[in-house]
Structure 1
Amino acid sequence: MSSFAGRMKEYPTISLDRFDRENLHAQAYFLSHCHKDHMKGLKGPLLKRKLQFSRTVRLYCSFVTKELLLNNPKYAFWEEYTLESPTQISLVDEASGEKQEIVVTLLPAGHCPGSVMFLFEGCHGNVLYTGDFRLAVGDASRMEQLHSGSRVKDIQSVYLDSTFYDPRFYQIPSREVCLRGIAELIGNWISQSRYHVVWLNCKAAYGYEYLFTNLGEEFSTQVHVNSLNMFKKMPEILSYVTTDRRCQIHACRHPKDEEFLQGNRLPCGSTAADGTPLRIISIKPSTMWFGERTKKTNVVIKTGASSYRACFSFHSSYSEVRFFWFFPCGVLLNKLAYCDKVHYCL
């Protein structure tokens, strides 16, 4: 859950991932991704009213985030304000007309579809805001946008996702390792008969598309979901999901008012089209649960007669976070870079 208040010391007229209270007075808004804890106030009436009377205020995000945002009718009013790939932008004080120019670069965050980090370059120095991110050791060093020629750019401050900046999460298995464990379990189960099915009990409405696409490719199938609306302009995902429940891998979800009552029951029903009872196992992707184990475990653990937990993280581990923020500072790569501050954003 994000506790970031939305403002950076260096560029206080910008608001990031927070759109209420003092953030209502911002001259530009930035949304790193479409998870609710980063969208507080985004559909609020006060913000909507401000936009109606402003000629300069915009919301900046990635193309995929824009598509996910506008898929929800509650955010449809943002369509004419949203820009996708900013470079140089003007921060305008509408009372005085004064302008401040900054350059903004979007960097892949690896958290979920559309998630980005923002690099701000302007008269108050270079500042990197990560939002939520999952980058393996070495990923940042390959980002050309963080370099200027042969050297790493000077970074004055880093506003850093510290969700798992805790020694309990020192090492989180990579998504590739977790995928192999999940795929092995699923393969062994669904190969027994067409009535053996798997329910991926995913907590968030989206973010697990890495699993859907890779499992779909691995087993030459599609994954059943409730709706395809959010994926209409994402063909790389759309081809791996379906609303046809006649498949063996499901990621459909219970209605909110039923999700705590249904246990492991498949949300779309427990019988096949011909009336045959389905044999169902559930797999719940988790991170906190694995981090709280006192002993090292496999990436997939059986927790009940037909239920499993699978390690899967949207956020970088303790060691990945340490390496990442050392990279902009130039410490680990022996570059002539400089970082004055690291701000931890839960």
Structure 2
Amino acid sequence: MSKPRRAALHRVPMRHPGDTAAIEALFESGALNPAAIVAILGKTEGNGCVNDFTRAYAVQSLSLMLVRRIGAAAAERVALVMSGGTEGGLSPHFLVLAVEPGEAPNPAGALAIGTGFTRDFAPEEIGRPPQAEAVAEAVRAAMAEAGIADPAQVHYVQVKCPLLTTERMAAAQARGATVATEDTYASMGLSRGASALGVALALGEVAAVPAAAIGRDWSLHSGVASASAGVELERCEVIVLGNSTDWDGDLAIAHDVMGDTIDLPAVHRALRAAGLPTEDGQVPEASAVRLVAVLAKAEPSSFGQIRGQRHIMWDDSDINATRHARALVGGVIAGAVGRTDIFVSGGAEHQGPDGGGPVAVIARRAPG
């Protein structure tokens, strides 16, 4: 029987998108073995749109750091997921995920991590069923790597996916191929949507992904998928987080689904499921020390209302709708947990119901 593994998660601040100093300080102190890193998630302070190169800047800086520490081949196997946009009070930060040798399995279940990668996509595949099917395959591979057989034990699946640029569209058209959209910004939503439906397909949340459903049929969605699109890659990178009794450690993950952008009760349910009380609406300071990470999706409702009242997120020509949504959901969650370094990603196409989205909590179990 193989020795159990132990998941580690370090949340560190960043002074700018290329700042890896806090991660390297973990190496120097001995708190983290760079060879144990399997993924790094980051919230960068860009606009989260097509031309948000803070994501690429962070990926480049992290890649150079990892190559110095563990070599190019090993660095290539680390999933780097950067989500742009820290509107409102959100704080830029990194979440560093590592897998270390364990001692004994935790019978209560412990955080389990698996990663997977798709092939590079041709531009004409982005936002279409081939992307969803490839993501589903990568999710299944990541679950197998994590040793999670039961989809019910999967609580969060992060996908970093590509988008269409003018150059990529031109390359497809030169070959006589058509693309899902000629709007580069719209391609972000279609890519996120196809990725999320790929997660849903792998977990049995949907039976199939028809081409006509992507970006249109919001009744099809995943309750655990979080997809973020960027210009810095052409493949999808997948991180599966769940619980397993085969893993060691005191970390555990739970999730719930926000029905809309102000669904505070869903946040409270996720916190309580992770073992954190929510007295007076906010996690008490004595328990807050066990909170390791909060990850959520944010999306304005397509019908322009929140509980019957009009919102203007889609009508603002100055500020992109996803930027409004990140600030709003970030504020709701920050009020519940008492901190602002939370991973709120905008654009929740097929990630939770229309106007809502998944929220996951990673926490240390209470002693005893």
Range into which the TM-score falls when normalised by the shorter chain:
under 0.3
Whichever of the two has the greater Rg, that structure is 1
TM-score, normalised by the number of residues in structure 2: 0.25
TM-score, normalised by the number of residues in structure 1: 0.26
Whose RCO is larger (CA < 8 A, sep 6+)?
A: 2
- Determine which structure has the larger helix proportion and give its number: 2
